[in-house]
Amino acid sequence: MSEVLTINRDKYDVAAPDTSVKLPEGLSEDIIRKISKDKNEPAWMLQHRLHCFKLFQKFAMPTWGPDLSKLDLNKITFYAKPDAKPNSRSWDDVPEDIKKTFDRLGIPEAERNSLAGVGAQYESQVVYHKLKKELEDQGVIFLDMDVALHKHPKLVKEHFMKCVPPSLHKFAALHGAVWSGGTFLYIPKGVKVEAPLQAYFRMNAARMGQFEHTLIIVEEGAQVHYLEGCSAPVYEEASLHAGCVEVFVKAGARARYSSVENWSKNTYNLNTKRAIVDENAIMEWVNGNLGSGITMLYPCTVLKGDNSKCENLGIAFANKDQNQDTGMKIYHLGKNTKSTIVSKSISKEGGITSYRGLIKIAPGAKNAKANVQCDALMADNKSQSITLPHMEILEPQSETEHEATVSRIQDDQVYYLMSRGLSKQHATQLIVSGFIEPIVKNLPVEYAVELNRLIEMEMEDTLG
């Protein structure tokens, strides 16, 4: 079976010539001051960065999960600015080599496919940003995070790292110290954005970390679906991604955040994502993790308001030398809160997938309901799948269900499909896409197509 699913990363792992300006490797107070100065930031942000840096220095490296001992933070470049005008509004303004990179990622197609707005991060600066006129007219703000800091200082200051506090863990603190770029999305009260909003991210310069910050505020009764897709080229040495996503879902609002993260294999993906959900509001997370050598990603939802809900769908794919340590964290604080988690993982060629999740039902969260379903599929007997569910139920009047399945791609299933004329590769691919179908079917069509295409590409070149 093992020869069947082979990842072909060539399509993403091609670095464009490096035209960026970078600060030296490693991190110091001096570098942090330079980042802040270069961005012409208000004093409070510099203070915030320096405070975060102190926290970062205090925290030890986490040792409870995958091995991070090979991650040398002194070899990471913490800030780089590409040779492009920030916030180009039209495709024509984007430099040629950057366009080529985006071409490979299919951004022009995404544009043609009438997505409502495109913000694409190239290294640490957003070079391309577009928002449809009608959204602007409705008061929707969709900006590069650095620009938002200047244009909407009050909104940013009120929310920035209030959902993901820098004290959360070492990499949240690091993020707070060196964050750069990202997306700011504000949906005013009652505004329902029908078409999904999309941004693509890509790291390019070798040994360059990416620390983009995404801040989404969905006001009362508003609605939005935000999509992110990531891909990264090959590096000579370990590269770090420690982004941060904060989502505020106000009363009666609905937010959906979907992302496919496909960083190259020698990347450490240590992202932090968190949402705070007020009464009668709904948060939905859709996460696909296909790349990175080591991923530690546990999107967290705080169901703060009564009757708030969250739905979580996750797919993780671990190939040779990959460790996908993912899961969901849910805090049920309000009454009648409800969470559902569906997590699917695929491992092959010795890859490791772990579901590491937390359900906490706080005292007083009466009638809270949590449902966790984890399914793991292994393509061979060399691969591993681990389920580490953690539950803290402090309210007796609540319900929690957890169900986990682990299965192998069955030889007899492959044989059955082959008996209808499908090649071994095709048969295996069908079984895998069937396995993730419950998640893919919940994605918007163009995104489902992209995810399926990524998985198909990962299975290309298999029967040489």
Q: Which residues of 151-178 are buried (b: 16+ CB within 10 A; e: fewer)?
A: ebeebbeebbbebbebebbbbbbbbbbb
Longest dimension (CA), the chain: 68
Other Cβ atoms closer than 10 A to 4: 22
Tokens 């409870």, located at residue: 64
What are 171's two structure tokens? 């990499």
- Nearest residue (CB) to another protein, 112 versus 420: 420
Q: What is the spatial order of strands in the sheet that 398-408 belongs to?
A: 125-131, 117-122, 197-202, 223-231, 254-261, 282-289, 309-318, 338-347, 368-378, 398-408
- Nearest residue (CB) to another protein, 418 versus 457: 418
- Nearest residue (CB) to another protein, 92 versus 411: 411
d(CA 43, CA 101): 35
Residue 314 near residue 326, CB atoms below 8 Å: yes
**Shortest Cβ distance from residue 13 to another protein (Å)?**
29
**Which residues neighbour 7 within 8 Å (Cβ) at sequence distance 6 or greater?**
319, 320, 458, 459
- Nearest residue (CB) to another protein, 44 versus 416: 416
Query: How many residues would you count in the chain?
Result: 464
**Shortest Cβ distance from residue 440 to another protein (Å)?**
9
**Shortest Cβ distance from residue 262 to another protein (Å)?**
22
Residue 150 near residue 115, CB atoms below 8 Å: no
- To 10 degrees, what angle do helices 170-178 and 43-58 make? 150
- Nearest residue (CB) to another protein, 47 versus 410: 410
The string of DSSP letters for 214-274 reads: EEEEE-TT-EEEEEEEEE----SS-EEE--EEEEEE-TT-EEEEEEEE---TTEEE--EEE
- Nearest residue (CB) to another protein, 57 versus 405: 405
The residues of the shown chain that bind another protein, judged by CB under 8 A, are 410-413, 415-424, 426-427, 430-431, 433-438
- Nearest residue (CB) to another protein, 12 versus 435: 435
- Nearest residue (CB) to another protein, 247 versus 417: 417
- Nearest residue (CB) to another protein, 25 versus 460: 460
**Which residues neighbour 28 within 8 Å (Cβ) at sequence distance 6 or greater?**
none
Phi-psi region of 336 (alpha: psi -120 to 50; beta: other; left: phi over 0): left
**Shortest Cβ distance from residue 291 to another protein (Å)?**
23
DSSP 207: T
